Amino acid sequence: MKTRITELLGIQYPIVQGGMQNVGYAELAAAVSNAGGLGIITGLTQPTPEDLDKEIKRCKEMTDKPFGVNLTILPTIKPVPYEEYARVICENGITVVETAGRNPEPFMPLFEGAGVKVVHKCTSVRHALKAEKVGVAAVSVDGFECAGHPGEDDIPNLVLLPAAAKVLKIPMLASGGIGTGAQMAACLALGADGINMGTRFLASAEAPVHENMKKAIAQASELDTALIFRPLNNTARVFKNAVATKVNEIEREKGQDMKFEYIVDLVAGVKGKAALTSGEIDGGIWTSGIVQGLIDSYPSCAEIIDDIMTECTATINDRLAGFLKG
């Protein structure tokens, strides 16, 4: 399949694995890239820039195909040396960076000077236009269906994608709630040049998390996610487990008086990371999107991409074209 995204990123299929904290390691990125998509190492999953350097080199030993690095720029209690992470990315010859969170503009001169293409993740049309203005090569437009942070506008992809496509000139990935070939065909019809998937690749053979998490996703429905942090205007979609349910209870109880300090122990990142490794479903907060309702297995990344491309092609050539016959 040839789209503006495949040409821009130098990949066979317009399928990108989104950066996922504590999941985007070399094993997963290499598996996606080897299958014809674009794998992504999550930069800040690595404790230091030196660790990221080692992880990038490890990934290069597993694939000779292009892969990218995610750099999520967010305010933190402990300062993060973003500039050093960015320099490691450039020094290793990485050609694609997925940025998220705050405006990537401060890092654009560094990336552009190293020939790095920046794909910025956005949750609104206005943010996508701003990213285009500061010079990113493409945007990944993230609908309300997504895992992680969907923004505060609550606009699903059926409206968000065509609204963005209507005004953008640069290539656009559709992100959030996508896990099937029919959905990919729909995204292309709505103006996207490719898709970005997180939860679908979380439930894959190569994802470096405990099988219990993959099994939970495969057994869950689209109703089994929870939106937390909404009273704090920092909405996040996570798997609905005992911890997420408790957080929601506290948020309802506190109402307008809600403060992060009331739940900080429950949502600690170290607990979520430990849960992904131990397989304790209720061990902490971990993200999953509503697309889990369409996932019933966790095959290899190669099988996932092959199934999606086969179904996407059949949807376009047979089902949709069939409506115009006769």
All CATH 3.20.20.70 domain ranges of the chain, comma separated, are 4-207
Segment 219-234 mean pLDDT: 97
Per-residue pLDDT at 326:
62
Per-residue pLDDT at 258:
97
The confidence band for 60, taking pLDDT boundaries of 50, 70 and 90, is very high
Residues 81-122 have pLDDT tens digits of 999 999 999 999 999 999 999 999 999 999 999 999 999 999
CATH architecture classification, 4-207: Alpha-Beta Barrel (3.20)
Q: Does the pLDDT value for residue 55 go beyond 70?
A: yes
Per-residue pLDDT at 195:
98
Segment 15-25 mean pLDDT: 96
Greatest C-alpha distance within the chain: 64
The confidence band for 290, taking pLDDT boundaries of 50, 70 and 90, is very high
pLDDT higher at 326 or 50: 50
Segment 231-243 mean pLDDT: 97
Residues 240-265 have pLDDT tens digits of 999 999 999 999 999 999 999 999 99
Segment 265-284 mean pLDDT: 96
Q: Does the pLDDT value for residue 75 go beyond 90?
A: no
Q: Does the pLDDT value for residue 76 go beyond 80?
A: no
Per-residue pLDDT at 74:
85
> What share of the chain has pLDDT > 90, as a percent?
97
Q: How far apart are CA 56 and CA 120, in angstroms?
A: 20
- pTM, whole model, 2 decimals? 0.96
